[in-house]
Amino acid sequence: QVQLVQSGSEVKKPGASVKVSCKASGYTLTGYYIHWVRQAPGQGLEWMGWINPNSGVTKYAQKFQGKVTMTRDTSITTARMELRRLLSDDTAVYYCAYSTGWSDIWFDPWGQGTLVTVSS
């Protein structure tokens, strides 16, 4: 059974970068993807992109291209999402979520979420 455990809350100043990690256990080695989804205060869920931990291939939503980088470590059990040039609008809970593909797929399970607060 797949489980995803994320890193803890972060407080950053505008213009800084933040890196959130997502450790997976119980997954199959091949054929899975880690997606990142965020929810700003009072807003809905917003898909940011995915990474295939096995190949390192990534796909980002157009809105986040140039601002986000998704990586995985060499053990391919931990995925990371780095968000650069933070603005107050980037204050949100960031979730990682598991899927078995990149299109026409659902997300299950999800990590517990990581609150990123951007404030001067």
Where does this chain bind other proteins (CB under 8 A)?
35, 37, 44-47, 49-50, 59, 61-62, 95, 97, 103-113
Question: Both ends of the chain: CA-CA distance in Å?
Answer: 41
CB of 103 to other proteins, least distance (A): 5
Query: Rounded to whole angstroms, how far apart are CA atoms 106 and 81?
Result: 20
CB of 80 to other proteins, least distance (A): 18
Question: For residues 98 and 79, is the Cβ–Cβ distance under 8 A?
Answer: no
Residue 64's DSSP bridge partners are: none
Total H helices, total E strands in the chain: 0, 10
Nearer to other proteins, 62 or 75 (CB): 62
Nearer to other proteins, 49 or 53 (CB): 49
CB of 65 to other proteins, least distance (A): 11
